[in-house]
Structure 1
C-alpha cells in the first residue's frame, strides 16, 4: 500500500461551525483508523489547517474518504490536496 499526505484548510469560525458535524466526523475517522487506512489526522494548533496521513491502494481511495467526510460535505474543510508520500524513516 502507498502512503499519502493530505493538507487541507478549515473554514472561518471552525469551532462553532463544526459542532453539528463533529460526532459523525470523529466516528468516521475512528472507522478509518480501525481499518488501517488512516494513520493519523489532526488540526494545526491555530485551527487553520488539517494534516493527515493515509495508507491506501491509490489516491482516488483517499480522495473518496476526504470527499465523503462530513467536514468536507458541509464546508468545514474548504480545500485540500493530496501527495504521495515516501516514508524515509
Structure 2
C-alpha cells in the first residue's frame, strides 16, 4: 500500500460552520484510523489548513475518503491536494 499526504483548506468561518458536523467528522476519522487507512490528520494552529497522511491502494481511494467526510460535504473543507509520499525514515 502507498502512503499519501493531503493538504487542504478550511472555509473562512470554520469554527461556526463545523460545529453541527464535528462529531460525525470525528467518528468517521476514528473509523478510518481503526481500519488502518488514516495515519494522522489535524489542522494548522491558525485553522486555515489541514494536513493528513493516509495509507491506501490509490490516490482515488484517498479522494473517496476525503469527499465522504462531512467537512467536505458541508463545505468546511474547501479544497485539497493529494500527493503520493515516499517515507524516507
State the TM bucket, normalised to the shorter chain.
over 0.9
Distance 1:72 1:50 in 2: 12
Distance 1:53 1:82 in 2: 9
Distance 2:56 2:20 in 1: 29
Instruction: Quote how far apart the aligned CAs of 1:72 are.
Output: 0.2
Q: Which residue of 2 aligns with 1:63?
A: 63
Superposed structure 1 runs of 4+ greater than 4 Å apart: none
Alignment of 1:76-87 (within 5 A): 76-87=76-87
Aligned residues: 89
Q: Which residue of 2 aligns with 1:44?
A: 44
Instruction: Quote how far apart the aligned CAs of 1:34 are.
Output: 0.3
Instruction: Quote how far apart the aligned CAs of 1:9 are.
Output: 0.1
Instruction: Quote how far apart the aligned CAs of 1:10 are.
Output: 0.1
Unpaired segments of 5 or more residues in structure 2?
A: none
Instruction: Quote how far apart the aligned CAs of 1:13 are.
Output: 1.2
Give 3-state SS (helix, strand or coil) of 2:45's partner: coil
TM-score (norm 1): 0.99
Residue 34 of structure 2 corresponds to residue 34 of structure 1: yes
TM-score (norm 2): 0.99
